[in-house]
Amino acid sequence: MPVNRSWTEPPDGTTIYIADNGVHADIIMPVEAQGLDWSRVVPRSDMRAAEGQWIAFGSGEKRVYLDTPTWWDIRPRTIWSALVGGRRVMHVEYVASPFYAAREIRLRPEEYRRLWAAIRADFVLDRRGRPQRIDHPGYGPDDAFYRANGKASAIRTCNAVAADWLRLAGVKTSLWPPFVNGLTWRYRRT
């Protein structure tokens, strides 16, 4: 079921991407666009070697992200946390190019700013107003994990969170896409 039904993609604007690994979606945005700079929010120094001009955001249950670097590492306790509601975290990765992504969406300036604000609002902030980084090595040199507001569950999946970000931006999206295909099918292939 769609939300923001009247939305249409503009002929010009800022392009964002949706990466899809068959299970999980990330939103990929330029590090700097529309006067907004992600490197001031999520500093490159939080990672070991973040150099890309694009930045990917995903959200999910803490144990799934931190304790299962591969699907072979998943355990019953991890599955239970993901289903009934565990702590939610943000995964942030600087990437060289968004062209590994499955879909792309062009946004008007105000839509881009609302998307940026929606993602920013999901971070738990410290006393200085910075996202709270989790002490975890990440999956590689360009990524880090951060505390996120709320819980992740079978209802509030990673894909449902990505759809919420797009909904808040004003983009036509699915009301509740628990699976990645329910989110990505609406948008142009890259």
At 67 the pLDDT is 84
pLDDT (tens place) for every residue of the chain, 190 residues total: 899 999 999 999 999 999 998 888 999 999 999 999 999 999 999 998 888 999 999 999 998 888 887 777 888 887 777 788 889 999 999 999 998 999 999 999 999 999 999 999 999 999 999 999 999 999 999 999 999 999 998 889 999 999 999 999 999 999 999 889 999 999 999 8
Half-sphere exposure of 116 (CA within 13 A, CB side): 24
Pairing type for strands 25-30 and 54-61 reads: antiparallel
Give Dmax over CA atoms of the chain in angstroms: 47
* pLDDT at res. 120: 98
| Whole-number Å distance between alpha carbons of 25 and 95 | 15
What is the reported pTM? Answer: 0.93
Residue 184: predicted pLDDT: 92
Would you state the pLDDT for residue 183?
92
Rounded Cα distance, 42 and 135, in Å: 15
Domain interval for residue 116 = 2-189
Domains contained in the chain, number: 1
Q: Residue 66 has what pLDDT?
A: 87
Query: What residues contact residue 48 under an 8 Å CB cut-off, 6+ apart?
Result: 138, 141, 142
Which residue bears the tokens 């890309």? 52
For residues 25-36, one letter each, b for 16 or more C-beta atoms within 10 angstroms of the residue's C-beta and e for the rest, the string is bbbbbbbebbeb
